[in-house]
Amino acid sequence: MQWTQNFSPVGDSVVLSALVALIPILYFFWALAIKRMKGHIAGLTTLLVALVVAIVAYKMPATMAIMSATQGAVYGILPIGWIIITSVFLYKLTVKTGQFDIIRNSVLSITEDRRLQALLVAFSFGAFLEGAAGFGAPVAISAALLVGLGFNPLYAAGLCLLANTAPVAFGAIGIPIIAVEGPTGIPATEISKMVGRQLPFLSVFIPFYLVMIMAGWKKTVEVMPAILISGISFAVTQYLTSNFLGPELPDILSALVSLFALAIFLKFWKPASVFRFSTENLDTTLNSNHTQYTAGQVFKAWSPFLILTAFISIWGIPSIKTALVGAYEGTNPILKALSALGHALTFKPEVPGLHNLVLNPDGQPIAAVYKLEILAAAGTAILLSAVVTKFIVKISWSDWVKTFGETLVELKNPIITIASVVAFAYVTNASGMSTSLGMTLALTGALFPFFSPFLGWLGVFITGSDTSANLLFGNLQKITATSVGMDPVLAIAANSSGGVTGKMISPQSIAVACAAVGLAGKESDLFRFTVKHSIFLLLLIAIITYLQHTVFSWMIP
């Protein structure tokens, strides 16, 4: 039995239907921001509310709604949950073997100032990981590093989520922008150019904003030279690479330029005073810098993360990525062998009771499969990094396995949270609720250029992914923009740029960040920390988009 999506099931009105579709989202906001539920409770109950709305209001058959939830839950575990497990595991290996003490010391040797450490680790290093891997790895790893340096876990998670705003649109070797070319027919290079004429404004601002949140106005002014070096070097490189090289490399190159520019600058410049949090033990912080380590010891300590970077970068190379899912058709013998292994470790079973049974309004069936790409998952690259790390840090196999087991136990509830919120996203999409919301925003007419980024923000909040938000709303942006006299390239770029501001409040991102810093069950606190910043940055993107449509239309490629 097939079922056709109806985007106006309530009173034949898309607006009324959208108001009903808002119920699970508003419930989630209430559960975290007001009721302060633990993340896994909020996630599971939000999923239940979404299922009720899908079945009762959207008339989706119960079996299909439940099976779409299982499809999302599986995706929440692999690849997303797998990344968190392996990232935290790798971090714990460095802590258990004493290597993280050396890492901490090496960062302190560059600067003991918490403001500058946040720029180096959360902004620059996090952006590099976003460009190479995406899918939660940047926030998980950089937040864990900040906690190891002495940051309050909530602050570390929040700052890394905020810092992650700048690179998300070009994450995972440009996948969000490359993916939207398919449903819209607009070349990825053109979208890349437009996004590269929006996000650099945000990229300049984010380092200043991070430090302002941490330290206040006076303490921010003290490190303004470093903030300018960090932000401007990143933004200029982001603009140049996105406009002249394409969507694949802006994050990686911008992050590297920003990281090295700031590190070199700090060799010649120091702030007037060293900033630390008022809750820190000052003596402990200072004494940690008295131990001197050789260059070889520092290199060894950082090697797990260098190996991680290498593996993730290799996993992101297009030809290797194709081989890892078993789809390589070239003649390279190494890639052919890798492809054979990838094929054996890739499973895409159809979702029973759902595959090709949901029809879109045009009567086209929607495929539904459990996507289990074990070898291709970024988490597998991180696990292999942990295997190599075992030999470098000389930990026994028994302790290695024991640490992995401890990690699984620690992350039990966060994985439940991630699985449930991704399941909620899949139910929302399969039932048509997310499309109803998008179509309602598209009714704003002449004001659509201002509200266009809101679609991307909403899409990333629901799905946790800029790629998914672009696929979900990209074509709707194009169609609506054409009807109101807005350049479609600007609208699609706004979807991606607006989406980056929704990443920090996405249930997936919140769960990932809390899991990485040991705050499982405290998701509500992190959500309350990030939600106001998300809305503020979204309004900035909305204003930029509206001005580019009206006053600065010459900026559109």
Q: How much is the CA Rg of the chain, to the nearest whole Å?
A: 23
Q: What local confidence, expressed as pLDDT, does residue 283 receive?
A: 45
Question: Which tokens go with 527?
Answer: 């959500």
Please tell me the distance from the alpha carbon of residue 321 to that of residue 75, in angstroms, as a whole number: 18
Q: Are strands 3-4 and 358-359 parallel, antiparallel or unpaired?
A: parallel
- Of 192, 200, 160, nearest in space to 176 by CA: 192
pLDDT along the chain (557 residues), means of 10: 91 91 87 80 91 95 95 84 82 86 78 90 86 70 85 89 85 75 77 90 93 91 94 94 83 88 92 82 47 85 83 81 89 91 93 92 89 87 92 93 91 81 84 83 84 87 75 75 86 90 86 82 86 93 93 86
Please tell me the distance from the alpha carbon of residue 127 to that of residue 382, in angstroms, as a whole number: 17
Instruction: Note whether 47 and 394 are within 8 A (CB).
Output: no
Q: What local confidence, expressed as pLDDT, does residue 315 receive?
A: 81
Q: Is 557 helix (H, G, I), strand (E, B) or coil?
A: coil
Q: What local confidence, expressed as pLDDT, does residue 413 receive?
A: 80
Question: Which tokens go with 165?
Answer: 């705003």
Please tell me the distance from the alpha carbon of residue 499 to that of residue 508, in angstroms, as a whole number: 14
How confident is the model over 276-330, as pLDDT tens digits?
877 765 544 444 445 678 888 889 988 887 888 788 778 878 889 899 989 888 8
Whose tokens are 């808002």? That residue is 22
Q: What local confidence, expressed as pLDDT, does residue 472 receive?
A: 66
Instruction: Note whether 130 and 163 are within 8 A (CB).
Output: no
Question: Which tokens go with 293?
Answer: 């380590």
Question: Which tokens go with 416?
Answer: 């439940």
Cα separation values, 397 from 83, 307, 412, Å: 21, 19, 23
Instruction: Note whether 392 and 381 are within 8 A (CB).
Output: no
Q: Are strands 372-373 and 358-359 parallel, antiparallel or unpaired?
A: unpaired
Q: Residue ranges of the domains in the chain?
A: 3-272+297-555
Cα separation values, 295 from 96, 100, 132, 300, Å: 21, 15, 26, 9
- Of 408, 393, 527, 510, nearest in space to 35 by CA: 527
Please tell me the distance from the alpha carbon of residue 462 to that of residue 473, in angstroms, as a whole number: 12
How confident is the model over 170-192, as pLDDT tens digits?
876 677 887 777 667 788 889 88
Q: What local confidence, expressed as pLDDT, does residue 287 receive?
A: 42
